[in-house]
Structure 1
Amino acid sequence: MSTTLGSLRRLVLAPSLEEVAFRARGFPGASSEHAARLEAVPQSVVCGFEWGIDSRDGWEVERRLGFVNPALRGFAHEGAVMAFTIRDVVGRGTRVRDLLTGSGADHLFVAYIGIGFAMARLPRGLWRKVVPDLSGSPYHPVVSWLAVDGYGFDLAYFHTRTWVDEQRVPAPYPWQGRADYFPRAVDQGIGRALWFIHGARCAEVAAAVRRFAPARRADLWSGVGLAATFAGGGTPAELAALTGAAGEHRAELALGAVFAAKARIHAGFVPEHSTIAVDAFTGGTPQAAVELVDATAGGLDESGPVPPYETWRSRIRAHFSGARRGTPT
């Protein structure tokens, strides 16, 4: 059941389904043959947000999320978590924690992205409150960097001229005490957004990455790999060509793919397009990707100069860099 206050919040904060469509945003990928399929992703986020911002209790939201097509259910969770984060931070409550320790636990990875969407609508002074205590999860707080990734995606998707065309670099923020890594995690989200902005047209996505400064391209490519694998789009031949276009950053493309496979398997549903992309980018299966993610997750040093999240990523990256050189992995 919705509330009057919730309806007002929805009217103020939620874009319409049309507003997130590629043509309405002026994206070059609006005419892509993959556009309709990809537009269902942000539209699912909007639906989840509307349910989360307008509801009286979490049970109703969870029921609604359960009716969403499994291929899109994670994206609807992103929207619901975005709404719950805003409500928890601005008001009071434990909505996000309750969802992610309950029925939404399987969607933990993408849920962090929803927190990042909320960050894009909250002042930085409130960011310290956005991540709930999920200490019972083996992935918390290491993968909470995906919230910064989500923040970067939101910036690029809704403010494309500034963050993609003009390539603005975000001001550092001490996320997990590592302010210097913050812009890199934002770039990972911008890379994901490029996949949508260009409608999964692989040649155009590759050209868009190359327009950024060389130092930013590795993180952008990992974002592209994650988006292509999790959201879909692109034929097997096109995805194979994208691997070639990534050149020296093929390992980053594979890195994004294996994290996407981990998120899909964790949620209990792996669509065909994810299997195809994992094969194109890594030469393996989603299950093999997950085994690699899990095998490289141990012994992460939380006190070192590098965030444990990036240490984890670097181990996966090294696996694929070694495989390209023909060394044992």
Structure 2
Amino acid sequence: MSTAFGALRRRLLTPPISETTMKVRGFHVKNTESKKRLEQVGETFLQGYAFAVEAGSSAEAEELLETVPRDFRGFAYEGAAMGAVIHDALPGHGGRLAGLLSGRGRYHDYMIHVGIGWAMARLPRPLWPDIRTTDPLLRWLALDGFGFHQAYFKTSAYVRDPSPPAPFRWNGGHNHYTANAIDQGIGRALWFVGGTDPDTVAGLIRSYSEPRHADLWAGAGLACAYAGGATEQELALFARQAGEHRWALAQGAAFAAEARVRAGLVSEHTHLASRVVCGVSVEQASRMCNGLRPSVASRNALPAYENWRRDISARLASESTLRKGADQ
């Protein structure tokens, strides 16, 4: 049960909900429906964060997280991961993140690793968690979360006037790849900054230097399939606008499909995005991600995580070519 100290932690540590509104953030508003959805995502994230910092234990936080509506529950676990890391960084505290990952949170491991990155963006480096204790592949999603946070809260510097990424070092491995993983998170944030409007989001991506586009499109693909907010026609347009990065976009959407299947939270918009963007069903996309998941060892200079992403992109492109050949 939450204690008075837990309630105080929540009041002191939880950011105000107003910080997630489209008006405060200055994000593009496509329509009332998409605005409401994106703001609910932000509100749910902070709700999960508050559960993690206020609860008396990981188990109690988990019980609260399981009450969140299914379509948004993954965002609550993402927020809870950030809250758990912040909680563990307090003097005399610890074990909240480990408890989250060992409980039902293990089914939300994609989102929890992203949430770790949110906390890294807020904490001084000496208080960062030891990322080496997390999943060797999914830990790269922490940098995705870091990039999302920066683009979401420091939009002027990371989106409206994008500059080359600064060197970023961590102890998770392959420091030459960190900028790529951060860009994947920035791309995911662009789906929010652009208000789920395919033209606006595509325009934002094109404002970055070309070598960054593939990672940005992949992040946007994950967001369009996990967060939703676009119609079938809009998703089809978005896929066409990706051009040569069409299958990077699809890889991101496949990750979203796998994350929702693993958590048992598949939504209609994920079914739609998987079909339109990936060209396969949610179940097929999930099996593809699992079937291609590599061992920790890398087969070249790239991290195994990037090889995994490239293999998924290649398989989706190949499946599309086979289908077109069969239809002719």
Q: What's the TM-score bracket when you normalise by the shorter of the two chains? A: over 0.9
- Aligned letter for 1:108? D
Q: 1:31 to 1:24 in 2, by over 3 A?
A: farther
Find the residue that maps to 1:142 and give its secondary structure: coil
Q: Distance in 2 between matches of 1:132 and 1:83?
A: 19
CA displacement 1:182-201 (0-9 Å, x = unmatched): 11111100111110111101
Larger displacement relative to structure 2 (284-293 or 10-19):
10-19
Q: Distance in 1 between matches of 2:5 and 2:179?
A: 35
TM-score (norm 2): 0.92
- Aligned letter for 1:295? G
> What is the CA distance between 1:32 and its match in structure 2?
5.2
CA contact under 8 A between 1:106 and 1:266: conserved in structure 2? Answer: yes
| Counterpart residue number, 1:151 | 146
1:160 aligns with 2:161: no
Can you give the 5+ residue segments of structure 1 that lack an aligned partner in the other structure? 135-139
Q: Distance in 2 between matches of 1:33 and 1:67?
A: 23
- Aligned letter for 2:28? P
Larger displacement relative to structure 2 (259-268 or 313-322):
313-322
| Counterpart residue number, 1:62 | 62
- Aligned letter for 1:171? P
Query: Following superposition of structure 1 onto structure 2, how do residues 14-25 of structure 1 map, counting pairs within 5 Å?
Result: 14-25=14-25
Q: 1:265 to 1:183 in 2, by over 3 A?
A: same
Find the residue that maps to 1:107 and give its secondary structure: helix
| Counterpart residue number, 1:242 | 238
| Counterpart residue number, 1:189 | 185
CA contact under 8 A between 2:22 and 2:39: conserved in structure 1? Answer: yes
Identity of aligned residues (%): 39
TM-score (norm 1): 0.92
Find the residue that maps to 1:292 and give its secondary structure: helix
Q: Distance in 1 between matches of 2:315 and 2:220?
A: 19
> What is the CA distance between 1:298 and its match in structure 2?
3.3
Query: Following superposition of structure 1 onto structure 2, how do residues 12-91 of structure 1 map, counting pairs within 5 Å?
Result: 12-29=12-29, 31=31, 33-91=33-91
Q: Distance in 1 between matches of 2:30 and 2:46?
A: 19
Q: Distance in 2 between matches of 1:69 and 1:113?
A: 20
Larger displacement relative to structure 2 (13-22 or 208-217):
13-22
CA contact under 8 A between 1:192 and 1:220: conserved in structure 2? Answer: yes
Q: Distance in 2 between matches of 1:239 and 1:25?
A: 24
CA contact under 8 A between 1:18 and 1:24: conserved in structure 2? Answer: yes
Q: Distance in 2 between matches of 1:202 and 1:130?
A: 37
> What is the CA distance between 1:65 and its match in structure 2?
0.7
Find the residue that maps to 2:104 and give its secondary structure: coil
Q: When the two structures are aligned, how many residues end up with a matched partner?
A: 322
> What is the CA distance between 1:44 and its match in structure 2?
0.5
Q: Distance in 1 between matches of 2:151 and 2:102?
A: 30
Can you give the 5+ residue segments of structure 2 that lack an aligned partner in the other structure? none
Q: Distance in 1 between matches of 2:213 and 2:261?
A: 27
| Counterpart residue number, 1:307 | 303
